[in-house]
Amino acid sequence: MITHNPSVLLIYTGGTIGMIENPETGALENFNFDHLMSHVPELKRFNYRIASYQFDPPIDSSDMEPNLWIKLVKIINYNYDYYDGFVILHGTDTMSYTASALSFMLENLSKPVILTGSQLPIGVLRTDGKENLITSIEIAAAKDEEGNTMVPEVCIFFENHLLRGNRTTKINAENFNAFQSFNYPPLAVAGIHIKYDTSLVRHPDNSKPFKPHYVLDPNVVVLTLFPGIQREIVASLLKVKGLKAVVLKTYGSGNAPQLKWLIGELNEAHKRGIVIVNITQCSLGSVEMSRYETGMHLLQTGVICGYDSTMESALTKLMFLLGHKLNYQEVRKAMLSDLAGEITV
Ligand code: ASP
């Protein structure tokens, strides 16, 4: 067997990890990749071949856009055969959206794509960025005894936990444990050793090639229900020109108020071909519309069950499916199927 030094491509998109403080305003601003690397001399101790690609200029992840997800897919595809794995340095604010989108766009992925970042810039003494970066690189290069990739998935590594990307949500704006995967356990936990739970990891279908996708349709919206929600607002939202799909955030196990007008508006939107997916406002658990009468009404209007999907995952999955110009029935079928480990059906 030919062995070679592990190789990892680091893609630096921006985010706190590489920011420095503007001496005049005190605000955090993006800096360049060399600055970031000079603060992690430990990387030289890996016997890995580490190359990098830098967004120019690096962005705060609040400025993330679907066309930049397409750019990331292009970078990964272009370099796919040359590296064992990929680490994407990304701001935490929209990291879960990017991880979710990439999980659908990188179909039949056979290499790790690990997103990470930090809550404190890498130049700061107490930074969490160093650990996150170093361990992410190790995970991106990790192989088992037979030389197989340990985690051929899009993941987020943050504060000792390796999480499936499309199951994550940012839950904390200040603590180091910024991400949670409420409905799926961590794929690995990093302590003295990195302990993988191999039974939880998804593997590609080896009879099929890796297939990158470059189309997304962002004509989607998230509508959160709340007591007092107004008809005029819902009605006009559902009639916005170009709107193709709605992620409806309902109560509990997928329940909505039994307002005649709400059911009517949803029904009418459904008849016009708008895809409406029901996910719960609860962090943990799954939608089960037939459980209560208040959920049953939604089911009858044609609302699709989103199971235990995160909002980020439901939204980007819809963008992905609509980008492929699928018809209503095809989108519905795919939303009810597990494409990349994003839902428990
Ligand atoms: N605003 C920053 C970003 O998401 C926060 C971070 O990096 O954690 O880019």
Q: Where are the domains of the chain?
A: 7-212, 220-335
CA atoms within 13 A on the CB side of 332: 11
Q: Does 61 sit in the ligand 1 pocket, CB within 6 Å?
A: yes
pLDDT cut 70: percent of the chain above it: 99
The CATH superfamily assigned to 7-212 is L-asparaginase, N-terminal domain (3.40.50.1170)
What is the average per-residue pLDDT within 66-85?
Answer: 98
Residue 42 pLDDT > 70: yes
Report residue 171 as tokens.
């839950």
Nearest 5°: the CA angle 169, 86, 157 is 30
Query: In the prediction, which pLDDT does 10 show?
Result: 95
Residue 168 pLDDT > 90: yes
Q: Does 180 sit in the ligand 1 pocket, CB within 6 Å?
A: no
Nearest Cα to 298, choosing from 271, 276, 281, 272? Answer: 276
| First and final C-alpha spacing in the chain | 40
Q: Provide the pLDDT confidence category of residue 28 given band limits of 50, 70 and 90.
A: confident
What is the average per-residue pLDDT within 58-71?
Answer: 96
Q: Ligand 1 centre and the CA of 28: distance in Å?
A: 10
pLDDT digits (tens, 9 = 90+) for 101-121: 999 999 999 999 999 999 888
What ligand 1 atom has the least distance to the C-alpha of 16? 7
- One fold for 7-212 and 220-335: yes
Q: Does 92 sit in the ligand 1 pocket, CB within 6 Å?
A: yes
Residue 13 pLDDT > 60: yes
CATH 3.40.50.40 applies to domain 220-335: yes
Q: Ligand 1 centre and the CA of 61: distance in Å?
A: 6
pLDDT digits (tens, 9 = 90+) for 218-236: 999 999 999 999 999 999 9
0.85 cut: is pTM over it? yes
Mean pLDDT over each residue of the chain, to the nearest integer: 93
CA distance 197 to 203: 13
